[in-house]
Structure 1
Amino acid sequence: RAVAVCTSENDLRGDPFTEWTVPQLVLAPDLLDDEMAEERLAAAKSILLLDHPDDHRCEFYGMVVFRWGDVFLGLVMIYDASYEYRRFGLGNQYAIVDIQLVSSRDLLHWERLGDRQPVIALGAPDAFDSHMIFWHSHPLPVGDEWWVYYVGYNEGHTARWCYDEAMRQQYHADVKAGRRHFPAIGLAKVRREGYVSRDAGDEGGTLTTRLIQPGGSRLEVNAIVAEGGTLTVEVRDEHGAVLPGHAAADCTPVTGDSLRHAVQWGDLPGDDRWRDCPVRLHFHLRDASLYGFAFAA
């Protein structure tokens, strides 16, 4: 299994979505995914009944896409399976499923984020979400957090108990006794825009954005700066020249933890020229994590 995209030019006035382009492959597992699947299955060995313990692979079961700012974020359902067909589940393969994050600017070229680690980790062996997590909705901004509703399973991908009467009775007995759980809805909360960050340790680091149109005169950053760390920002024009008064040395260092640090250069909280002037932001970080930034009026 992999992820493909196709498009339709039909609109809602006629026959909506009746004609589609040929699917174009945009995201597929690679050998590293297969290696990581083997590691994850080995770690979960105590709760699994594998179709074929020596034959492991990773597949992409599906993906939810949503837009945030000027990028698209994708939540890929990572399906780690052992792979002998038809031993259990009438053709299904026993598997665990979790979620990883990807991003794109054009819906065609996707970047893997977070070192391919799950956005939400599977629960403990006795938890309702110990074996599989499925995520089918966009995150909801609630105050300073993103809330995510997902479906958790205390059973791997096989549903063999649906076809075996003895297993089905045992499954229901285990649920009644509190040893197992039926699938249920879970709620995960994360820092707003907090799925992934750009980090620098005590050796420091820099990050330069692409050319952007601010649309606002004040810059705010979502960042955590550890004690003793700093974050400063330099503003450059489209040719790479630093705007007068907006060098990193002019920037008041950002410290602490906030979703909306107000960035200031000397006595200037911003510059009205930014509204119509494309710029690049050049971040200097030390012992800091940058989650995002935004321009305010």
Structure 2
Amino acid sequence: MPIYVHRYVTCAVLLLVLATFAHAPTVAEEVRTIPVGQRQLFLDATTIQEIDGLHSTMHSPTKRGAVLKPDVDSDGSRVQTYGTIPMWSPEENIFRMVYMAFPMENHNQIGAALATSKDGIHWTKPNLDQGVTVRGSSRNNRVFVERDLRWGDNALFNVIYDASDPDPGRRYKGLLGVNGRFPVVSGDCIHWTKSADVRIPSGDTSTLTYDEDRHRYLAILKSSSKYGRAAALSVSTDFDQWSNPRLCFSTDDQDQQIALDVIRQRIQDPRLATPLFVDPEPTDDFKPPKGHIPTWRAECYSLSVFPYEGVYIGLPMIYYPTGLSLPDRNNTVGFHHIQLAMSRDLTDWKRLGDRKAFIAPSAVDNGLTGVFDRQQLMPPSRPLVMGEELWFYYTGFKTRIPPYTRNSDGSPRDPSSLTAHEQADLEDGWAAICLAVLRRDGFISLDAGEEEGTLLTTPFILDGNSLRINADAESGSIIVSVLDEAGQTIAVSEPVTGDHTRAALRWSSGDLKKAQGKAVSLRFTLRQTQLYSFWYE
């Protein structure tokens, strides 16, 4: 496809990259070992030795809209995953997904529920008949850990499927409770038990993932920093004993400066829904004070972390509070951006895409009904790999507080004052689970326009029979040269054209036989092309 840079967030990194690699190590000085089949992305400097005439672009996934809505009576007006994604059951050939359902008129009826799907898009809510009465009926899809637990204590968050566990009764894992988390397990995603009487400290959001590379579980918990909400990390190797949480991600001074422009642009954009409460814009020398309710700043509301091709990718949920919530003034309203970050050690994080939104709130200029992700967006624990695509299931909220319940002065809103469009929007529901789709490895690309650009990789040991690339060269071409330790050319590929997620290189001169087990670098020559990754098999 043609390169339309204006569709994406473009990072002006060329000069920075050139400066970074002006003194890059030679092949003889440093050689990496890359596992066979591990894709090498261009998220940080590790893969790049020299670059010329290329720029970096962050790509946002394409939204597919709400795929799981509050459409049965027991759901109430709000369904929410808390990071849970669809889990494939090989025994039944279906996806399972646990979500929380919120009949807001009775908090004692808020609880966990199960949905199933064959394709990840069309969902069924089976009648499990677990004896949980909601709105006068027990014919529903509710699940629970302990029958007597009520909202708060019964919150089943962050469910994952762990195929590596030798005990089939423990392969579904989750965290239980709003204020603090207890590890829970299940063999069928319906009948749950506590795995250990261990309470992991956390606020009301968290995510959970299994780190396949290091055989450990990562719980990302709600904590705090000088700028408010932040993320902490707790680690376990057996899912029962957990390390003391440590702060692993927070907003910083740069985020606070950016927040002023982000909020200002948001409330001035007629296409976007303005939060109900907006405090006066602060002065130019404004510095957010410490505390949990100031507005016009940036907080990390939650963080999702997942291993991906040898690195960790983070999806920080950045919260931009615009105003104190009236009349109580004990919280705030605002909106969220899901941003993109990466780390190699879960301590030092590189923010990607100039800290712009990876997944942003949707506009309402074409109508209100059906647009759930207009203010609050909660990221998935990780994307679902579907062939050559990454599917992001995130929760979208129309508003931070229940919609159409208050006026802008905090007084209760008269239901009879709703317009026909507002009434239809209210009946549509408050929150739903939405889907956005990205090409495999499609987070960041290195791009060339009409002028040719080149990339020289850092050296690595070649231990495969073929090289593959993920690139969009539909309007251009890409040629790959293999260089030895002395910088001499071993092989040159035929030009690759077209849009490919796993193109196998063919050689116009030379081949890889002489390079087996030796240190090599790759030189990519691009024209009108976006390069996402490379690897060998």
- After TM superposition, is the score higher than 0.5? yes
1:47 corresponds to 2:274: yes
- For residues 235 and 171 of structure 1, what CA distance do their matches in structure 2 show? 69
Q: Map 1:36-115; keep pairs closer than 5 Å.
A: 36-43=262-269, 46-55=273-282, 56-83=296-323, 85=324, 87-88=326-327, 90-115=329-354
Q: What secondary structure sits across from 1:12 in the alignment?
A: coil
Who is 2:442 aligned against? 194
Amino acid at match of 1:230: S
Amino acid at match of 1:61: Y
1:251 corresponds to 2:490: no
Q: What secondary structure sits across from 1:32 in the alignment?
A: helix
Q: What secondary structure sits across from 1:203 in the alignment?
A: coil
Check conservation: 1:62, 1:77, Cα contact below 8 A: yes
Matching residue within 510, 520, 537 for 1:279: 520
Who is 2:477 aligned against? 230
Matching residue within 474, 477, 487 for 1:242: 487
Structure 1 gaps of 5+ residues are none
Check conservation: 2:482, 2:490, Cα contact below 8 A: no
Amino acid at match of 2:266: R
Q: Which moved more, 1:189-198 or 1:46-55?
A: 46-55
Provide closer, same or farther for how the CA distance between residues 89 and 80 of structure 1 changes in structure 2, counting only shifts above 3 A: farther
Amino acid at match of 1:262: A
Q: Map 1:112-261; keep pairs closer than 5 Å.
A: 112-125=351-364, 126=368, 127-155=371-399, 157-159=400-402, 166-167=412-413, 177-180=423-426, 181-227=429-475, 229-237=476-484, 239=485, 241-246=486-491, 250-261=492-503
**TM-superposition CA deviations, 1:164-218 (whole Å, max 9, x none):** 8934957999798312432011122221122221111112322233333444221
Provide closer, same or farther for how the CA distance between residues 233 and 190 of structure 1 changes in structure 2, counting only shifts above 3 A: same
Amino acid at match of 1:264: R
- For residues 331 and 348 of structure 2, what CA distance do their matches in structure 1 show? 30
Q: Higher relative contact order at CA 8 Å, sep ≥6: structure 1 or structure 2?
A: 2
Normalising by the residue count of structure 2, what TM-score does the alignment of the two structures yield?
Answer: 0.47
Provide closer, same or farther for how the CA distance between residues 66 and 49 of structure 1 changes in structure 2, counting only shifts above 3 A: same
Amino acid at match of 2:477: T
Amino acid at match of 1:242: G
Q: What secondary structure sits across from 2:262 in the alignment?
A: helix
Q: What secondary structure sits across from 2:338 in the alignment?
A: strand
Who is 1:12 aligned against? 238
Deviation at 1:7? Answer: 5.5
Deviation at 1:46? Answer: 5.0
Once the two structures are aligned, what percentage of the paired residues are identical? 30
- For residues 174 and 269 of structure 1, what CA distance do their matches in structure 2 show? 68
Q: What secondary structure sits across from 2:525 in the alignment?
A: strand
**TM-superposition CA deviations, 1:134-185 (whole Å, max 9, x none):** 1132111112211111111111x34587798934957999798312432011
Provide closer, same or farther for how the CA distance between residues 170 and 110 of structure 1 changes in structure 2, counting only shifts above 3 A: farther
- For residues 2 and 166 of structure 1, what CA distance do their matches in structure 2 show? 29
Q: Which moved more, 1:63-72 or 1:190-199?
A: 190-199
Q: Which moved more, 1:42-51 or 1:286-295?
A: 42-51
- For residues 258 and 75 of structure 1, what CA distance do their matches in structure 2 show? 26
Provide closer, same or farther for how the CA distance between residues 2 and 231 of structure 1 changes in structure 2, counting only shifts above 3 A: farther
Who is 2:531 aligned against? 290
- For residues 264 and 43 of structure 1, what CA distance do their matches in structure 2 show? 49
Deviation at 1:260? Answer: 1.3
Check conservation: 2:361, 2:377, Cα contact below 8 A: yes
Check conservation: 1:89, 1:160, Cα contact below 8 A: no
Amino acid at match of 1:16: Q
Deviation at 1:65? Answer: 0.8
Matching residue within 239, 259, 263 for 2:505: 263
Provide closer, same or farther for how the CA distance between residues 209 and 3 of structure 1 changes in structure 2, counting only shifts above 3 A: farther
RMSD: 3.2
Q: Which moved more, 1:142-151 or 1:89-98?
A: 89-98
- For residues 97 and 141 of structure 1, what CA distance do their matches in structure 2 show? 25
- For residues 417 and 379 of structure 2, what CA distance do their matches in structure 1 show? 24
Provide closer, same or farther for how the CA distance between residues 74 and 170 of structure 1 changes in structure 2, counting only shifts above 3 A: farther
Report how many residues are paired: 284
Structure 2 gaps of 5+ residues are 1-227, 283-295
Who is 2:288 aligned against? none
Q: What secondary structure sits across from 2:450 in the alignment?
A: coil
Deviation at 1:283? Answer: 1.7
Normalising by the residue count of structure 1, what TM-score does the alignment of the two structures yield?
Answer: 0.80
Q: What secondary structure sits across from 1:255 in the alignment?
A: strand
Who is 2:258 aligned against? 32
- For residues 250 and 373 of structure 2, what CA distance do their matches in structure 1 show? 29
- For residues 417 and 351 of structure 2, what CA distance do their matches in structure 1 show? 37
Deviation at 1:92? Answer: 1.8
Deviation at 1:96? Answer: 0.8
Query: Which structure shows the higher helix fraction?
Result: 1
Q: Which moved more, 1:101-110 or 1:202-211?
A: 202-211
Provide closer, same or farther for how the CA distance between residues 11 and 144 of structure 1 changes in structure 2, counting only shifts above 3 A: closer
Provide closer, same or farther for how the CA distance between residues 174 and 212 of structure 1 changes in structure 2, counting only shifts above 3 A: farther
Q: What secondary structure sits across from 1:115 in the alignment?
A: helix
